Structure 1
Amino acid sequence: MLTPAEKSMSPVVLSCDDTTHSKEVAPPVRTKNISATGRHFPYELQELIVKCAVKQNGQSPWLDLPHTGCTVNAGKGYLRMLLRLALVCTDWRVLVLPHLFAVAVLDCDPPTLSIDASYIQLFSAHPKYKDMVRTVVLRTFGYHPRMPKGVSTLYNSIARQSPCPMENLVLVKGGLTDASARRVKGSTLLRSVALVECCLTRKGIWTLLPQLAEGGKLVLDDILFWPLADSRPQVISADPQAITIALRNLSTITSRGDPFMEILRGVLLKGMTILNCPGLSLSRATAREIGCNMEFFAYENDGAYDPPFELEDLPVLQKLHVVLNAAGLEEFYDWLLAGDSSTLLDVVVNIAAFGMDPRDLVAKWSGIADALAPCYFGNLERVRIRFFAGPGSCLRRASAFTQLRGKLHAGSRIVEIDVVAEGGGAFTEKRWAF
């Protein structure tokens, strides 16, 4: 039973077990609304909520969750709601706490330090919570000579403890130079580093890259390079580290592509994801240089299919993931026909087929199926295609899919063709659900 103090913190109380929980619950709603209401919960918590709903005959109490967006924008409302959820019972608390403190969001802007004071005190009062931190998000980092003292102390206690639980570092609306990159150096190598809406220098990136573990991931989202005097040639290691990279919203630097691509020459690039980078192009020599070791490539663009690589630039490619709309089908077909790859094992394509005539769509895909024939891609093990159509679409009933599936089958090759008819919003949410 909750204490009066706990009840005052928790106006919305979940009831998972009537024998141990308060009877004070809000009006129930159908489980199908959970996905809309709890969209920004970690997936494990969403599954837990659904399991709770199953126990209650398909219904679940209403969760008054804030619309916080992604974890980068998760504020104290997100933290407060999860705290309320953790108060319900011991079982929930054990499951919730690792998610509750998995992401630590620290603001490095001094005027906002008072806002984060209670957050910093929470970690100070409960040192064991720091062992649960997997991702640290630093806002406005690098624009000031030093981090605020409380933020700096907390970050260092997380990143430089031994053993260090921290796996991911995210910099949001900050600046990355050689000096600032040294200030975030931790005691362990990271699985991923993300720079979101940041200004950076090439030397800052070169200083930060050694923090990535072998096979780690570098995410560059809407970045801009500072034109500082750091143009001295990079000393390339004889044994470069193998990493993957994700590029998002990088049209702002396409006119200065050469300095940007110099970053990649110091690493062994094993995979690349390109999201919404229209016009991002490479010279053929550069494409071949950085693509020769890539085993994974994912590409999405709202318009035409226009990746910076030709298929022949990726001689060891094993996995190809593509998000297309109707405008990109023919370009994708031409791209496949222009080369072959004996190493390709897995092809995944998500396509927005809203408003398309099923016969026209299947006809175009018949050509793509021919392009993926065993004579060109003899080692291909799996082909997965997901069509997104409107709720009233007759695409699901297209008999030609049987013929299409037959064309794609070859020996033991696995072929999966799905039609998702849930409206335009489903494409946005599920297009990367590979």
Structure 2
Amino acid sequence: MNDTPGWASPGSAPSDGQSDGQPSGQDPAVPRPAGSPDQQDAAPDKWSKQQPPAGQWSAPGAPGQQPAPGPQQWGGPSTPPGRGPGWNAPPAAAKPGVIPLRPLGVGEILDGAVSTMRTHWRTVLGISLTVAVITEIVAILLQGFVLNSDASTAVLDDPDATVGELTGAMVDVMRDTGVLLVLSLLATFVVTALLTMVTSRAVLGKSVTIGEAWQDARPQLPRLLGLTFLLPLMAAGVVAAGALPGILVAAAGASEGGAALAILGGLAAFVVALWLMVRFSLSSPALMLEKQTIRKALTRSAKLVRGSWWRVFGIQLLAAILVNIVVSIIVIPFSFLAGALSGDGMTGFLETGGNTGWTFLIITGIGSVVGSMLAFPITAGVSVLLYIDLRIRREALDLELARAAGVQQSGPGTSGPRPGS
């Protein structure tokens, strides 16, 4: 038997129900003429290799009478490229919800995330809008009262600034950027966890309200809170540990060498942190759907991602690029509008490179809310569907999902690697 899901490759070994004497590529359902050589001596090598199409010839002794066409036409323009005679199309996998119940390709994962948002838009957009509004309010308050990087930006633009001033300004900018990135990461994890319940129901073709999603997620919220803080702190700790030697050298007096060492160490640590974040990127769906503890959810994610790190990283990177394009299309017009209505107008906005006044922050914040409301569901859906896809590939979860949805798979062996995925 062939292990490839859903279809047997041409030229493969005969299946359990196929006789070894059957000619290669011959469909057993194709009618044969009475008194043909194979009925006389059952010798497949005496058959001509160029048989007429099924249903287009008459049996001897019955002129003008044609048998019913067989299930598969031989050759002809309808034969798929690269497929030999007798090839049958693979059975379609069951699709009770937003994805087919089989190993998924990259496009199917992205399409499933968008389909979930489109099919259950009230629940999905309600959750994402709430999280986006709360996140943006916190970000505006932080930028207005705490994270004022105008002075640091001026130092970085000053060609006469000393190495110490440049180092301090860079640290301030990295701190401000890091805080906003962590805030965005926290919001993404929260949305992913809450929408896990919606996506898991959408896979089965079932709808869920915000109240039902809340009831399903509530028992795991304390653990989710710990996981939400643990992952960013883990990444920040790794990056800080990599930059620490350079910071100590700079504090000892060798500012130039220390700064270079801190940058190199920070870059190396960033690669390690990225590897860990991808490795543990499925811990939130595992925690919510499997009711795991934080430690077991991290272990579960690492087990699922093992051997598929580059695939998981590539799909998440592609989703991030698409999300950023969507957000940019929405946010950029709001940024120009904010620049025109704040400070010295558009001329002052372009000359100073931006204005962080309250008018600017509020208008750009509105644009960010709209962009995040559309971006969060895609990011969350990709994470959940990646988790489901890896479980289908490794644990035949599609069979369990088919039973839960009340449908029957079209054919055996649907789990496993999928060509082109």
- Fold similarity call, TM over 0.5: no
Higher helix share: 2
Higher strand share: 1
- Greater Cα radius of gyration, structure 1 or 2: 2
Q: Of the two structures, which has the highest relative contact order with CA contacts closer than 8 Å and spacing of 6 or more?
A: 2
Q: What TM-score do you get using the length of structure 1 for normalisation?
A: 0.20
Q: What TM-score do you get using the length of structure 2 for normalisation?
A: 0.20
